[in-house]
Amino acid sequence: MSSLNLDPTLVARARELAALAAQPVIDLAHRHTTVSVERAVLRLAGLTGTDPVTGEGRTEDRVPWVNRVVDAVRDQVGLESGVALPVWHALASGAAPDLQTLAEQVGAGTARFAVPDGVQAERAQEAASAAAAAGIARIDANRRRREELVALHGDPPRRPWIYLIVATGDIHEDIPQAQAAARAGADVIAVIRSTGQSLLDYVPEGATRTGYAGTYATQENFRLMRAALDDVSAELGRYVRLTNYASGLCMPEIAVLAGLERLDMMLNDAMYGILFRDINPKRTFVDQRFSRMVHARAGIIINTGEDNYLTTADAVDEAHTVTVSQLLNETLAKEAGLEDWQLGLGHAFEIQPDLPESFRLELAHALLARTLFPDAPLKWMPPTKHMTGDVFRGYLLDGFFNLAGALTGQGILLVGMMTEAVVTPWLSDRDLALRNVRYVLNAAGNLAEDFAPPPGGFIDRRAHTVLTEAVDLLGRIADHPEGLIQAIADGTFGITKRPIDGGKGLGGVVELGPDAYNPALELLEAKETSHA
């Protein structure tokens, strides 16, 4: 595998500073909960469905029962203690025989909640823990099933894995397209979400056919697509992985649903929602920690979103911010229990093509990431910002991108389309794009073992420059008492400023009280401790 001879002292200093910069965010996440974290607890315990009297028309517009219950608890007793104690106290007291019935009482306006203490609190904790444990057991079973299927069908015969996006808005149209893409060579199918779903403070329900520039992320859609890819995996003799998006205002819930339905990868970045969807930083950092703990338990690979910075900032001038973000994402992910093999850290091929030595610069940036994170399945993103509509030039750029991925040993290669950022690609565009990838990987897929940039050469010097700039920036971030939170407010990443008290979803953040109890966190943290 190609790598650089980076200064080990500088690398160690980078990780030390990343830990210092991230600590205020970690502390914040430990002190707070959110409405989505609490809804995720109810989903783990098996509560599904929607209130039939809310929403107009489509099932996916109705308010889920988890939302109704959490809102009722918050209105009556607050969420400082979490949702579990009031809910399972009500169940243990005989108010309802099960969660579903209790939710229907909430819908009817007859449910009454209280925060128990003493023996009653202990009884509620035991019942809540058993309910959450049942959901986690299902996630564990899905992880074992994935391992069985990989052993049965086999993994793709080479890295990088070919990652292709399929999303029509209609899950029943997505399925045959996803299966066709797998037959044409895709190893990972990503079902991109409907535009704006990250800003919905609820997860739609059921199989959906009405998404915009994407398909709604729902539990039923996850189930349907996973079953379809299991069928094509058996047909092809290799396990085809499924990706969706655990980001936005429902990050924890979507992570739980992904675990319950055996998804394999999830887009899950510590800062993407803050920077590019203006979601409140507190909300995002609390939600991302819980969601990553679920991903760790489920054996899901996360994909981070550093590539997005380069759509708003210059890919050369701001290259060090990508490295800084990768190091911070690594720190936060490991604190949540994720392992190196689960860290699909992001970066992108976005340098202006007309810049002299642009390809050498791309190789330097890609090889820096590969060397810093040798055991991570890095996710390498194709050119988008500089696609002009000239499909011949675009096809050539994608070929260079594929070659850079092969040369630098990337783990996950997102398929670039020559019509990227111009129109929604046609099926024929996808076929041509997959041919491009297949040609390059067949012709040069093992070239990484021969590619060794000389010490002191252009690529080596550029990589060390970027790493040095990253360490300098991490030092400035770590020196501030608020660390990463202040860096985001200052516009450090993607030249976008997001203050700690701004953005969407702040009203859903709650500071925990002394008697706070979250059975899912308790079980997930116990597992993490046992692995330490």
The pLDDT of residue 56 is 60
Nearest 10 degrees: Cα torsion 490, 493, 497, 501: -80
Residues 82, 84, 87, 92, CA torsion sign? negative
- Give 188's strand partners: 163, 241
**Could you confirm whether 202 is annotated as catalytic?**
no
The pLDDT of residue 157 is 86
The pLDDT of residue 532 is 46
Phi, psi of 277 (to 5 degrees): -125, 5
Exposed, middle or buried by CB within 10 Å (0-12, 13-18, 19+), for 192?
buried
* Ramachandran quadrant class, 248 (left: phi over 0; alpha: psi -120 to 50; beta: rest): left
CA–CA dist 141, 523 (Å, integer): 16
Cβ neighbours of 356 (radius 10 Å) = 6
Residue of 18, 512, 517, 124 whose CA lies nearest to 282? 512
- The catalytic position among 174, 187, 264, 307 is 307
The pLDDT of residue 61 is 76
The pLDDT of residue 508 is 98
The pLDDT of residue 122 is 97
Phi, psi of 500 (to 5 degrees): -65, -30
CA–CA dist 346, 323 (Å, integer): 10
8-21+160-464: CATH architecture: Alpha-Beta Barrel (3.20)
381 contacts 348 by C-beta, under 8 angstroms: yes
Cβ neighbours of 133 (radius 10 Å) = 17
**Where are the domain boundaries for CATH 3.20.20.440 in the chain?**
8-21+160-464
Per-state percent for the chain, helix, strand, coil, to nearest 5: 55, 10, 35
Structure tokens at 98: 């099960």
**pLDDT tens across 372-387, in order?**
999 999 999 999 999 9
* Ramachandran quadrant class, 55 (left: phi over 0; alpha: psi -120 to 50; beta: rest): left
DSSP string over 49-77: -B-TTSSSSSGGGSPBHHHHHHHHHHHHH
Residue of 304, 295, 240 whose CA lies nearest to 276? 304
131 contacts 45 by C-beta, under 8 angstroms: yes
- The catalytic position among 202, 216, 239, 272 is 272
**pLDDT tens across 123-179, in order?**
999 999 999 999 999 999 999 999 999 999 999 988 899 999 998 999 999 999 999
**Could you confirm whether 379 is annotated as catalytic?**
yes
- Cα–Cα distance list, 98 to 38, 47, 87, 384, 523 (Å): 18, 9, 10, 50, 22
The pLDDT of residue 526 is 85
* Residues whose CB falls within 8 Å of the CB of residue 311, separated by 6 or more in sequence, listed in order: 350, 384, 385, 494
**Could you confirm whether 272 is annotated as catalytic?**
yes
The pLDDT of residue 319 is 95
- The catalytic position among 163, 239, 379, 429 is 379
The pLDDT of residue 290 is 98
Structure tokens at 455: 């010490």
158 contacts 441 by C-beta, under 8 angstroms: yes
Ranges in the chain, pLDDT < 50: 531-532
pTM of the model: 0.96
